[in-house]
Amino acid sequence: MKNCKVCKETKPIEKFNITNKVKGYRDPSCRSCRLAYMKQYKQSDAGKLTQKKYAQKNKEKIAATHKQWQIDNKEYFLEYTKKYRAENKDKVAKREKTYYLKNKEKIAATGKKWREENKEYLKEQREKNKDKLSVQSKAYYVENKEKCLAYSKKYREENKDKTASNYKEWYQKNKAQVAERKKEWYLNNKERINAQQRKYRQSEQGKISAKKYNQKYYQENKGGTLIW
């Protein structure tokens, strides 16, 4: 039996936490007094500061413990997460947005790394979902045309060399296909193209351009055989 210095009650020795196993020391306050004190301390400014400092100092350790706990309690964790997300939609969305804005570059880098490491998998997925994806991206494009155009413009400007060499490479591989498509496109849009060209030739810009072209042609073929 031991007397608690806080509540002054006499309790069995098991009710006091061991503070030093080797020397057999026990806490001078009983377990329920200790818990009450800890609870109060955690809510005090000093307690909060201690916890914050501890968290900063042991970031990795805490994260590892947390992760392990999630693995060990996978089902509970998933269920809990699902429920929490459903009940706190706005809060979660707001937090995710803040997190995204704060970690944009990090997220982009992680995503890029992952995509590079899972190239084969992504290719397979793309092949598998070809039709679905094309419908989806078309729909997205229609709804976000301005955004898409601005994005690809920005991307091209920021990656000039890359896009040029990518295109060149792609073109070399798909030359025949491109020619075929061009032809097809031309045949499908013949009327429109002709109308446009007519309109262009009649415009100021078109007249200037035609004049320039004629001059250039004349310069280049001055010494050549006149064919008219």
Q: Where along the sequence are the contacts to Zn ion (CB under 5 A)? A: 4, 6-7, 30, 33
Tokens of 167: 């295109």
Judged by CB, which is closer to Zn ion: 7, or 208?
7
Nearest CB to Zn ion, comparing residues 13 and 176: 13
Smallest separation (angstroms) from Zn ion to the CB of 42: 18
Which one, 7 or 107, has the nearer CB to Zn ion?
7
From the centroid of its chain, how far is CA 82? Answer: 21
How far apart are CB 68 and Zn ion at their closest, in Å? 34
Output 10 or 221, the one with its CB closest to Zn ion: 10
Closer of 11 and 206 to Zn ion (Cβ):
11
Q: How far is the CB of 25 from Zn ion (least distance, A)?
A: 17
Query: How far apart, in whole angstroms, are the C-alpha atoms of residue 154 and residue 141?
Result: 16
Distance of CA 76 to the CA centre of its chain: 27
Shortest approach of Zn ion to residue 23 CB, angstroms?
A: 22
Q: How far is the CB of 26 from Zn ion (least distance, A)?
A: 12
What SS3 state is found at 72?
Answer: helix
In contact, 136 and 143? CB cutoff 8 Å: no
Instruction: Tell the smallest beta-carbon distance from residue 8 to Zn ion (Å).
Output: 7
Q: In this complex, which beta carbon is closest to Zn ion, that of residue 17 or of residue 103?
A: 17
Indicate the angle between helix axes 74-87 and 59-72, nearest 10 degrees. 100
H, E, C per residue of 128-193:
HCHHHHHHHHHHHHHHCHHHHHHHHHHHHHHCHHHHHHHHHHHHHHHHHHHHHHHHHHHHHCHHHH
Angle, helices 145-158/160-188, rounded to nearest 10 degrees: 130
